[in-house]
Amino acid sequence: MNGYRDLRFDDFVARPALIENLRKAFGSGRVSHAYLFTGPAGSGKKTMADICVRALYCTGPEESRPCGTCESCRGFAEWQGHSDIYYLDVDEGRTQIRVENVRNIAFALSDSSSSGGKRCVICRRAEKMNADAQDALLKTLEEPPPNTVFILCAENVSQLLPTVVSRCMPVQFSPVGDRVIRERVLEGRVPAQDMEWILELAAGLPGRAFSLIENGSQSREIYLNAMKALTFIREGKGIAAAAKAVRCDKADAQDALYCFEILGRKLLKNDNKAGIALLDAVCEARSMLRSNVTWQYVLDTLLIRAAEG
Ligand SMILES: [Zn+2]
Protein backbone atom coordinates (compact mmCIF):
# COMPACT_ATOMS: atom_id res chain seq x y z
CA MET A 1 0.00 0.00 0.00
CA ASN A 2 1.19 3.45 -0.87
CA GLY A 3 -1.46 5.39 1.07
CA TYR A 4 0.28 8.56 2.22
CA ARG A 5 2.14 9.23 -1.00
CA ASP A 6 -1.02 9.09 -3.12
CA LEU A 7 -2.80 11.73 -1.10
CA ARG A 8 -3.53 15.21 -2.39
CA PHE A 9 -5.17 18.35 -1.05
CA ASP A 10 -8.58 17.06 -2.20
CA ASP A 11 -8.28 14.12 0.18
CA PHE A 12 -8.49 16.46 3.13
CA VAL A 13 -12.19 17.15 3.28
CA ALA A 14 -12.54 18.04 6.94
CA ARG A 15 -11.57 21.72 6.76
CA PRO A 16 -12.03 22.73 3.12
CA ALA A 17 -11.38 26.48 3.50
CA LEU A 18 -8.16 26.00 5.39
CA ILE A 19 -6.91 23.30 3.03
CA GLU A 20 -7.87 25.44 0.04
CA ASN A 21 -5.65 28.22 1.40
CA LEU A 22 -2.72 25.82 1.66
CA ARG A 23 -3.40 24.44 -1.82
CA LYS A 24 -3.38 27.93 -3.32
CA ALA A 25 -0.28 29.05 -1.41
CA PHE A 26 1.90 26.02 -2.09
CA GLY A 27 0.55 25.48 -5.62
CA SER A 28 1.44 29.04 -6.62
CA GLY A 29 4.62 29.31 -4.53
CA ARG A 30 3.23 32.41 -2.77
CA VAL A 31 3.79 31.01 0.69
CA SER A 32 4.27 32.53 4.14
CA HIS A 33 7.68 32.26 5.81
CA ALA A 34 6.54 29.72 8.35
CA TYR A 35 3.58 27.45 9.08
CA LEU A 36 2.74 25.63 12.27
CA PHE A 37 0.57 22.53 11.82
CA THR A 38 -0.97 21.41 15.11
CA GLY A 39 -3.32 18.60 16.08
CA PRO A 40 -3.40 15.13 17.63
CA ALA A 41 -1.16 12.31 16.39
CA GLY A 42 -2.62 10.85 13.22
CA SER A 43 -4.67 13.93 12.30
CA GLY A 44 -2.74 14.51 9.06
CA LYS A 45 -0.12 17.15 9.91
CA LYS A 46 2.88 15.30 8.48
CA THR A 47 0.94 14.04 5.48
CA MET A 48 -0.18 17.60 4.74
CA ALA A 49 3.41 18.88 5.13
CA ASP A 50 4.41 16.26 2.57
CA ILE A 51 1.63 17.29 0.16
CA CYS A 52 2.61 20.98 0.52
CA VAL A 53 6.25 20.24 -0.28
CA ARG A 54 5.35 18.16 -3.32
CA ALA A 55 3.04 20.96 -4.53
CA LEU A 56 5.78 23.55 -4.06
CA TYR A 57 8.20 21.73 -6.38
CA CYS A 58 5.60 20.36 -8.81
CA THR A 59 5.84 21.60 -12.40
CA GLY A 60 2.37 20.38 -13.43
CA PRO A 61 -0.62 22.72 -13.97
CA GLU A 62 -0.86 25.10 -10.97
CA GLU A 63 -4.42 24.12 -10.01
CA SER A 64 -3.60 20.40 -9.82
CA ARG A 65 -0.33 20.53 -7.91
CA PRO A 66 0.99 18.12 -6.76
CA CYS A 67 0.16 16.46 -10.09
CA GLY A 68 1.79 13.11 -9.27
CA THR A 69 3.19 12.74 -12.80
CA CYS A 70 5.83 15.45 -13.41
CA GLU A 71 9.52 14.69 -12.92
CA SER A 72 9.56 16.29 -9.46
CA CYS A 73 6.47 14.40 -8.24
CA ARG A 74 7.87 11.13 -9.57
CA GLY A 75 11.12 11.82 -7.71
CA PHE A 76 9.19 12.23 -4.45
CA ALA A 77 7.23 9.05 -5.11
CA GLU A 78 10.52 7.17 -5.41
CA TRP A 79 11.74 8.72 -2.14
CA GLN A 80 14.62 10.54 -3.80
CA GLY A 81 16.20 13.28 -1.73
CA HIS A 82 15.87 16.92 -2.72
CA SER A 83 18.78 19.29 -2.22
CA ASP A 84 16.53 22.24 -1.25
CA ILE A 85 14.63 20.38 1.48
CA TYR A 86 16.03 20.30 5.00
CA TYR A 87 14.68 18.07 7.76
CA LEU A 88 15.05 19.34 11.30
CA ASP A 89 14.84 16.19 13.40
CA VAL A 90 16.17 14.35 16.43
CA ASP A 91 19.60 12.78 15.79
CA GLU A 92 19.84 9.05 16.24
CA GLY A 93 20.53 8.14 19.85
CA ARG A 94 19.16 11.49 21.12
CA THR A 95 15.79 12.41 22.52
CA GLN A 96 15.70 16.09 21.61
CA ILE A 97 16.40 18.39 18.68
CA ARG A 98 19.45 20.36 19.76
CA VAL A 99 20.68 23.84 19.00
CA GLU A 100 23.38 22.36 16.72
CA ASN A 101 20.68 20.83 14.51
CA VAL A 102 19.07 24.25 14.05
CA ARG A 103 22.40 26.02 13.52
CA ASN A 104 23.50 23.54 10.85
CA ILE A 105 20.35 24.22 8.85
CA ALA A 106 20.58 28.01 9.41
CA PHE A 107 24.18 27.86 8.15
CA ALA A 108 23.16 25.90 5.03
CA LEU A 109 20.39 28.42 4.36
CA SER A 110 22.82 31.32 4.61
CA ASP A 111 24.77 29.92 1.65
CA SER A 112 23.81 32.21 -1.22
CA SER A 113 25.36 29.93 -3.85
CA SER A 114 22.38 27.54 -3.88
CA SER A 115 20.15 27.13 -6.93
CA GLY A 116 17.96 30.14 -6.09
CA GLY A 117 14.80 28.04 -6.00
CA LYS A 118 12.41 27.65 -3.08
CA ARG A 119 13.86 26.03 -0.01
CA CYS A 120 11.91 24.14 2.60
CA VAL A 121 12.65 23.33 6.22
CA ILE A 122 10.43 20.65 7.71
CA CYS A 123 10.28 19.84 11.40
CA ARG A 124 7.86 16.99 11.97
CA ARG A 125 8.20 16.96 15.77
CA ALA A 126 8.71 20.59 16.72
CA GLU A 127 8.02 19.94 20.40
CA LYS A 128 11.20 17.86 20.47
CA MET A 129 13.27 21.06 20.17
CA ASN A 130 14.87 21.93 23.48
CA ALA A 131 14.79 25.52 24.71
CA ASP A 132 18.14 26.46 23.10
CA ALA A 133 17.09 24.97 19.78
CA GLN A 134 13.83 26.94 19.89
CA ASP A 135 15.75 30.13 20.68
CA ALA A 136 18.01 29.53 17.69
CA LEU A 137 15.04 28.79 15.46
CA LEU A 138 13.35 31.98 16.65
CA LYS A 139 16.34 34.01 15.47
CA THR A 140 16.06 32.38 12.03
CA LEU A 141 12.32 33.02 11.91
CA GLU A 142 12.84 36.65 12.89
CA GLU A 143 15.19 37.20 9.98
CA PRO A 144 13.92 34.62 7.53
CA PRO A 145 16.37 33.55 4.82
CA PRO A 146 15.07 34.42 1.33
CA ASN A 147 12.99 31.92 -0.64
CA THR A 148 12.58 29.68 2.37
CA VAL A 149 9.44 28.24 3.94
CA PHE A 150 9.38 26.53 7.34
CA ILE A 151 6.76 23.90 8.14
CA LEU A 152 6.64 22.90 11.80
CA CYS A 153 4.37 20.12 13.06
CA ALA A 154 3.46 19.74 16.73
CA GLU A 155 0.92 17.85 18.79
CA ASN A 156 1.22 20.20 21.72
CA VAL A 157 1.74 23.92 21.16
CA SER A 158 2.24 24.51 24.88
CA GLN A 159 5.71 22.95 24.55
CA LEU A 160 6.76 25.64 22.08
CA LEU A 161 7.90 29.15 22.93
CA PRO A 162 5.02 31.60 22.40
CA THR A 163 7.44 33.73 20.37
CA VAL A 164 8.06 30.82 17.97
CA VAL A 165 4.32 30.13 17.70
CA SER A 166 3.54 33.78 16.98
CA ARG A 167 5.99 33.82 14.06
CA CYS A 168 4.11 31.03 12.26
CA MET A 169 0.86 30.84 10.32
CA PRO A 170 -1.26 28.47 12.45
CA VAL A 171 -3.07 25.53 10.84
CA GLN A 172 -5.11 23.37 13.22
CA PHE A 173 -5.85 19.74 12.32
CA SER A 174 -8.84 18.03 13.99
CA PRO A 175 -10.25 14.51 13.84
CA VAL A 176 -12.46 13.95 10.77
CA GLY A 177 -15.77 12.06 10.84
CA ASP A 178 -16.08 8.27 10.54
CA ARG A 179 -17.58 8.69 7.07
CA VAL A 180 -14.39 10.33 5.80
CA ILE A 181 -12.22 7.59 7.31
CA ARG A 182 -14.47 4.92 5.84
CA GLU A 183 -14.62 6.40 2.33
CA ARG A 184 -11.13 7.86 1.97
CA VAL A 185 -8.99 5.47 3.97
CA LEU A 186 -10.67 2.11 4.50
CA GLU A 187 -12.78 1.31 1.45
CA GLY A 188 -10.84 -0.86 -0.97
CA ARG A 189 -8.05 -1.36 1.57
CA VAL A 190 -9.65 -3.52 4.27
CA PRO A 191 -12.25 -6.31 4.20
CA ALA A 192 -15.78 -5.31 5.30
CA GLN A 193 -15.55 -7.25 8.57
CA ASP A 194 -12.60 -5.10 9.72
CA MET A 195 -14.29 -1.74 9.07
CA GLU A 196 -16.04 -1.34 12.43
CA TRP A 197 -13.21 -2.02 14.84
CA ILE A 198 -10.79 0.12 12.81
CA LEU A 199 -13.32 2.97 12.73
CA GLU A 200 -13.73 2.71 16.50
CA LEU A 201 -10.01 2.66 17.23
CA ALA A 202 -9.13 5.31 14.63
CA ALA A 203 -11.47 7.78 16.39
CA GLY A 204 -11.56 10.06 13.36
CA LEU A 205 -7.79 10.21 12.87
CA PRO A 206 -6.75 9.19 9.34
CA GLY A 207 -3.11 8.53 10.23
CA ARG A 208 -4.16 6.20 13.01
CA ALA A 209 -6.48 4.38 10.59
CA PHE A 210 -3.53 3.86 8.20
CA SER A 211 -1.33 2.45 10.96
CA LEU A 212 -4.17 0.19 12.18
CA ILE A 213 -4.39 -1.21 8.65
CA GLU A 214 -0.64 -1.87 8.73
CA ASN A 215 -0.57 -3.53 12.19
CA GLY A 216 -4.05 -5.03 11.74
CA SER A 217 -4.16 -8.34 13.54
CA GLN A 218 -2.14 -7.30 16.59
CA SER A 219 -4.16 -4.11 17.19
CA ARG A 220 -7.38 -6.05 16.76
CA GLU A 221 -6.30 -8.66 19.29
CA ILE A 222 -5.36 -6.06 21.92
CA TYR A 223 -8.72 -4.33 21.40
CA LEU A 224 -10.76 -7.53 21.61
CA ASN A 225 -8.85 -8.63 24.74
CA ALA A 226 -9.50 -5.29 26.44
CA MET A 227 -13.17 -5.68 25.60
CA LYS A 228 -13.13 -9.21 27.00
CA ALA A 229 -11.56 -8.01 30.24
CA LEU A 230 -14.32 -5.45 30.76
CA THR A 231 -16.97 -8.08 30.01
CA PHE A 232 -15.39 -10.36 32.65
CA ILE A 233 -15.61 -7.54 35.18
CA ARG A 234 -19.23 -6.85 34.29
CA GLU A 235 -20.02 -10.55 34.68
CA GLY A 236 -18.34 -10.63 38.10
CA LYS A 237 -15.56 -13.03 37.09
CA GLY A 238 -13.01 -11.15 39.17
CA ILE A 239 -9.98 -8.92 38.62
CA ALA A 240 -7.47 -11.78 38.18
CA ALA A 241 -9.48 -13.34 35.35
CA ALA A 242 -9.96 -9.93 33.70
CA ALA A 243 -6.24 -9.10 33.94
CA LYS A 244 -5.38 -12.45 32.41
CA ALA A 245 -7.76 -11.77 29.53
CA VAL A 246 -5.84 -8.59 28.60
CA ARG A 247 -2.88 -10.82 27.71
CA CYS A 248 -0.32 -8.20 26.84
CA ASP A 249 3.05 -7.26 28.28
CA LYS A 250 4.55 -3.88 29.05
CA ALA A 251 5.71 -3.36 25.44
CA ASP A 252 2.07 -3.10 24.38
CA ALA A 253 0.88 -1.29 27.50
CA GLN A 254 0.28 2.04 25.75
CA ASP A 255 -1.74 0.34 23.01
CA ALA A 256 -3.81 -1.51 25.59
CA LEU A 257 -4.46 1.71 27.53
CA TYR A 258 -5.47 3.43 24.30
CA CYS A 259 -8.01 0.61 23.71
CA PHE A 260 -9.38 1.06 27.24
CA GLU A 261 -9.68 4.79 26.57
CA ILE A 262 -11.69 4.17 23.39
CA LEU A 263 -13.90 1.70 25.29
CA GLY A 264 -14.33 4.27 28.07
CA ARG A 265 -15.49 6.88 25.57
CA LYS A 266 -17.92 4.37 24.05
CA LEU A 267 -19.21 3.48 27.52
CA LEU A 268 -19.91 7.17 28.27
CA LYS A 269 -22.80 7.09 25.79
CA ASN A 270 -24.68 4.32 27.68
CA ASP A 271 -23.39 4.48 31.24
CA ASN A 272 -21.93 7.84 32.10
CA LYS A 273 -20.65 6.88 35.56
CA ALA A 274 -18.88 3.71 34.38
CA GLY A 275 -17.41 5.57 31.39
CA ILE A 276 -15.96 8.31 33.58
CA ALA A 277 -14.57 5.74 36.04
CA LEU A 278 -12.80 3.90 33.22
CA LEU A 279 -11.42 7.09 31.64
CA ASP A 280 -10.13 8.27 35.06
CA ALA A 281 -8.56 4.84 35.56
CA VAL A 282 -6.78 5.10 32.18
CA CYS A 283 -5.40 8.54 33.11
CA GLU A 284 -4.12 7.21 36.40
CA ALA A 285 -2.63 4.13 34.70
CA ARG A 286 -0.71 6.33 32.24
CA SER A 287 0.85 8.35 35.02
CA MET A 288 1.69 5.19 36.98
CA LEU A 289 3.44 3.76 33.91
CA ARG A 290 5.56 6.90 33.65
CA SER A 291 6.72 6.41 37.23
CA ASN A 292 8.02 2.92 36.51
CA VAL A 293 5.44 0.83 38.35
CA THR A 294 5.12 -2.74 37.02
CA TRP A 295 2.60 -3.20 34.23
CA GLN A 296 0.84 -5.98 36.13
CA TYR A 297 0.21 -3.64 39.07
CA VAL A 298 -0.93 -0.83 36.75
CA LEU A 299 -3.31 -3.19 34.97
CA ASP A 300 -4.75 -4.62 38.21
CA THR A 301 -5.31 -1.09 39.55
CA LEU A 302 -7.01 -0.03 36.33
CA LEU A 303 -9.35 -3.00 36.39
CA ILE A 304 -10.18 -2.50 40.09
CA ARG A 305 -11.10 1.14 39.36
CA ALA A 306 -13.15 0.03 36.34
CA ALA A 307 -14.97 -2.51 38.51
CA GLU A 308 -15.78 0.19 41.08
CA GLY A 309 -17.39 2.32 38.34
ZN1 LIG B 1 3.95 17.33 -10.27
Domain ranges for the chain, please list them. Answer: 3-172, 215-308
Distance 51 CA to ligand 1 centre (A): 11
Is the pLDDT confidence value at 211 over 60? yes
pLDDT at 51 > cutoff 70: yes
Q: Inform me whether the pLDDT recorded for 273 exceeds 50.
A: yes
Mean pLDDT of 109-123: 80
pLDDT, tens digit, 9 for 90 and up, residues 232-247: 999 999 999 999 999 8
CA 104 to ligand 1 center in whole angstroms: 29
Fold of 3-172: Rossmann fold (3.40.50)
CA of 82 to the centre of ligand 1 (A): 14
pLDDT of residue 82 exceeding 50: yes
Query: What pLDDT score was predicted for residue 13?
Result: 59
pLDDT-derived band at 115, boundaries 50, 70, 90? low
Question: What is the reported pLDDT for 275?
Answer: 94
Strand partners, 150: 34, 121
Cα 59 to ligand 1 centre (Å): 5
CA of 4 to the centre of ligand 1 (A): 16
Rounded mean pLDDT, 192-215: 90
Name the CA dihedral angle for 199, 203, 206, 210, rounded to a multiple of 10 degrees: -50
Give CA–CA dist 309/307, Å, rounded. 5
Largest CA distance in the chain: 73
Q: Give me the DSSP letters along 3-36.
A: HHHH--GGG--SSHHHHHHHHHHHHHT---SEEE
- More confident site: 122 or 116: 122
Residue 285 has pLDDT above 90, yes or no: yes
Q: How far is CA 274 from the centre of its chain?
A: 29
| 7 vs 204, more confident | 204
Q: CA nearest 207: which of 164, 236, 176?
A: 176
Tell me the sheet residues that pair with 151. Answer: 35, 122
